[in-house]
Amino acid sequence: MIRAVVLGLAMLAPGWAAAQSVAERLNDYPTEARADYVFGCMASNGQSRQVLRKCACSIDEIASILPYEKYVEAETVLSMRLTGGERMAVFNSAVAANNLVVDLRRAQAEAEVVCFF
């Protein structure tokens, strides 16, 4: 009996590992990044439980659309644009930088439609 259970678990293990890697790919945003987004969202939209749910939904939607690496790159471009100066001018005019920001804004708009309306 025990041997059958062990064999059954061993047979499930490869599928479980594959499913876990899929889940990891779909959930590549670290908890800290999600929490940071939710705190900022709540600061802008209110401090209620309902807003907490909407903001958590929002970052989940963004994460389902935009890989974390692209999210970080877009946030970096936006941060650098706030710095200003000649050295930062490339972040204002570079096509690649603009595309990153456009992708982030598109994901945020989608999240707003799904979560806030």
Per residue in 34-61, pLDDT (tens digit) is: 999 999 999 999 999 999 999 999 999 9
Q: Is the alpha carbon torsion for 81, 84, 88, 89 positive or negative?
A: positive
Burial of 111 (0-12, 13-18, 19+ CB in 10 A): buried
* Global confidence as pTM: 0.73
